[in-house]
């Protein structure tokens, strides 16, 4: 293992291992953390990679402890990688004052506005630096990568896949922020990280990106009907569905009656998402 990674802890899980690491990130110019699950198959051969991007306020721990994905990753022979959601302890004034801006709220964009631009380069971190680290340090198939996420992370997964259609074989999302330029969260975070010029925001809006780029794989989205943030018009999956239909993008948008925005929803349907990605990763 490269000495650029610093192991923090490791746990046996479904005959594989959950492990947590930290490292210095050149793109974010600070210490970053991520978690991995290596399935038992990785002891004998290289395995495909599935990245999971978490939502607002989360760290690299939430998905690994709450989603229950390891059982299915072990069965399917897929490595899971869950990065932290933002840089932390950067010294930026106010980075810890709001739960939906700064720490825990990187929004998976490359910030262009001071003071965020020095450290908040999450898009480059997720799509370039982290994959390079994973390929360098673990027994993986570099040409077999997919991505999914929840809420802010669902937004991140969609834009990463749409901006890099040759890098990711498949994408899915739980309750993603699907049209951020049209919702309060997007307005707050894009203004802070990208500035007042809204023409630059479309670069990180999945509903806009789908108009220019379509994926060969089917995009899968689960949305709970009792999701408070959906009801508050923060997520706007219908906007993404309409744009996908116009662009002839294959989309499986599943409405889950009675489910909310929590990990109870995610854990209820994580098996379906793991099997969705396995179709492409294990083909």
Residues in the chain: 283
3-state secondary structure at position 199: helix
1: confidence class by pLDDT, cuts 50, 70, 90: very low
| DSSP per-residue codes, 149-198 | EETHHHHHHHHHHHH-TTT-S-EEEES----GGGSHHHHHHHHHHH-S-G
pLDDT tens-digit map of 163-212: 999 999 999 999 999 999 999 999 999 999 999 999 999 999 999 999 99
Does 109 score more than 60 pLDDT?
A: yes
User: Measured on CA atoms in the order 96, 98, 99, 100, is the torsion positive or negative?
Assistant: negative
Query: Which one of 227, 273, 277, 278 is the catalytic residue?
Result: 227
In the numeric block, which tokens belong to residue 158? 């969609």
The residue ranges of DSSP E strands in 54-104, in sequence order, are 79-83
Q: How far apart are CA 281 and CA 161, in angstroms?
A: 14
111: confidence class by pLDDT, cuts 50, 70, 90: very high
Q: How far apart are CA 259 and CA 269, in angstroms?
A: 11
- pLDDT mean over 214-237: 98
Query: CB under 8 Å to 238, separation ≥6 — which residues?
Result: none
Which letter does DSSP use for residue 107 in this model?
T
- pLDDT mean over 216-229: 98
pLDDT score at 249: 98
Strands 5-13, 16-25: pairing kind: antiparallel
Does 2 score more than 60 pLDDT?
A: no
- Based on C-alpha coordinates, what's the Rg of the chain? 17
pLDDT score at 92: 96
Specify whether 151 is catalytic: yes
Query: Which one of 54, 103, 151, 278 is the catalytic residue?
Result: 151
Tell me how far CA of residue 165 lies from CA of 50, 203, 228, in angstroms. 15, 15, 31
Does 28 score more than 80 pLDDT?
A: yes
Q: CA 211, 217, 218: angle at the middle one, nearest 5?
A: 80
Q: How far apart are CA 112 and CA 121, in angstroms?
A: 9
- pLDDT mean over 108-116: 97
Query: CB under 8 Å to 21, separation ≥6 — which residues?
Result: 5, 6, 7, 8, 33, 34, 35, 36
pLDDT score at 283: 86
Does 4 score more than 90 pLDDT?
A: no
Does 75 score more than 60 pLDDT?
A: yes
């Amino acid at each position: 293992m490269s000495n650029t990674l610093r192991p923090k802890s490791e746990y046996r899980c479904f005959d594989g291992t959950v492990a947590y690491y930290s490292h210095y990130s050149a793109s974010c110019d600070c210490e970053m953390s991520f978690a991995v699950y290596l399935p038992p198959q990785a002891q004998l051969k290289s395995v495909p990679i599935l990245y999971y991007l978490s939502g607002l306020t989360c760290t690299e721990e939430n998905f690994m402890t709450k989603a229950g994905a390891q059982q299915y990753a072990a069965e399917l022979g897929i490595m899971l990688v869950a990065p932290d959601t933002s840089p932390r302890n950067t010294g930026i004034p106010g980075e810890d004052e709001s739960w939906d801006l700064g720490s825990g709220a990187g929004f998976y964009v490359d910030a262009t506005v001071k003071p965020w631009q020095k450290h908040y380069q999450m898009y480059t971190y997720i799509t370039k630096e982290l994959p390079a680290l994973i390929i360098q340090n673990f027994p993986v198939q570099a040409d077999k990568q997919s991505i999914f996420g929840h809420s802010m992370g669902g937004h991140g997964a969609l834009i990463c896949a749409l901006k890099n259609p040759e890098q990711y074989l498949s994408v899915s999302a739980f309750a993603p922020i699907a049209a951020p330029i049209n919702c309060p969260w997007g307005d707050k975070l894009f203004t802070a990280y990208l500035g007042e010029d809204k023409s630059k925001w479309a670069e990180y809006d999945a509903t806009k990106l789908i108009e220019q780029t379509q994926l060969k794989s089917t995009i899968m989205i689960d949305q709970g009907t009792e999701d408070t943030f959906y009801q508050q018009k923060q997520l706007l999956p219908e906007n993404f569905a309409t744009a996908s239909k116009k662009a002839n993008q294959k989309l499986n948008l599943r409405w889950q009656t009675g489910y909310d925005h929590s990990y109870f929803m995610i854990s209820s349907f994580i098996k379906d998402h793991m099997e969705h990605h396995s179709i492409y990763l294990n083909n």
